[in-house]
Amino acid sequence: MSIFTPTNQIRLTNVAVVRMKRAGKRFEIACYKNKVVGWRSGVEKDLDEVLQTHSVFVNVSKGQVAKKEDLISAFGTDDQTEICKQILTKGEVQVSDKERHTQLEQMFRDIATIVADKCVNPETKRPYTVILIERAMKDIHYSVKPNKSTKQQALEVIKQLKETIKIERAHMRLRFILPVNEGKKLKEKLKPLMKVVESEDYSQQLEIVCLIDPGCFREIDELIKKETKGKGSLEVLSLKDVEEGDEKFE
């Protein structure tokens, strides 16, 4: 026995729906779960990996496809792929309360993991465990922002946690090798960007080993390239200056 399916209906499963209201009408697109965030953050660039179909719907769950005249009225075009991109970028992702809760919990954990990986107690140089960072985030009542990347939020969390616990980003250890003539002048410009100078050696060249805040790395790299016209070199000796063992709260 054959089942009659109207031609303007498409049935889809395992769908994340993104919705947008335009010109008084509702438009929806069907995406693969967990792919929308990747597209918005720039991690996923292949539209076919995000969209289940390049069709625009008025109701994904019922499989009702939008009419051509409604698309032209709302978007000024009937190019479904272009409209899908607009909805994907600016629309509202429809998720159940349970899915939203799970998603926020995962993001909370991911943020804590990034913070734990990047930071230490500045007095002991020891890293904090993810569990301790999660507890500290709960203590400051940190609220996850679903539309912001976990990396951006981790940097926000570090700033906020500084008010309640001893925490800072682990320093990077660098070695500069600079021509002597430019080196002395350049050292004065680099001084404010260096946290600790561990050694200096003047021979044919100026060699400095120092610790810096990772946020200053790009500025230092560009400064050395510019001031030495490419004659100076910069080497990363370690990404994180940390002591062995995890930090514990008293």
> 67: which DSSP letter?
P
- What pLDDT does residue 75 have? 94
Highest mean pLDDT: which of 137-146, 191-200, 218-227? 137-146
- What pLDDT does residue 9 have? 56
- How much is the pTM? 0.57
Query: In terms of pLDDT, which residue wins out, 229 or 75?
Result: 75
* pLDDT tens-digit map of 12-46: 656 889 999 998 999 999 998 778 888 888 888 99
Same topology for domains 16-94 and 172-238, yes or no?
A: no
Q: Is the pLDDT of residue 3 over 50?
A: no
Domain spans, the chain: 16-94, 97-169, 172-238
- What pLDDT does residue 1 have? 41
- What pLDDT does residue 186 have? 85
Looking at CATH, the fold of the domain delimited by 16-94 is given as 3.30.1250
Q: pLDDT exceeding 70 applies to what percent of the chain?
A: 90
* pLDDT tens-digit map of 113-161: 999 998 999 888 889 999 999 999 999 999 999 878 899 999 999 999 9
Q: Is the pLDDT of residue 248 over 80?
A: no
Q: pLDDT exceeding 90 applies to what percent of the chain?
A: 44
- Which H or E run includes 247? none
Query: In terms of pLDDT, which residue wins out, 67 or 11?
Result: 67
According to DSSP H, which parts of 56-179 are helical?
Answer: 68-75, 80-90, 97-118, 130-139, 150-161
CATH fourth-level superfamily of 97-169: SBDS protein C-terminal domain, subdomain 1 (1.10.10.900)
- What pLDDT does residue 167 have? 92
Q: Residues 1-33, buried b or exposed e (16+ Cβ, 10 A)?
A: eeeeeeeeebeeeebbbbbbebeeeebbbbbbe
Could you say which architecture CATH assigns to the domain 172-238? Answer: 2-Layer Sandwich (3.30)
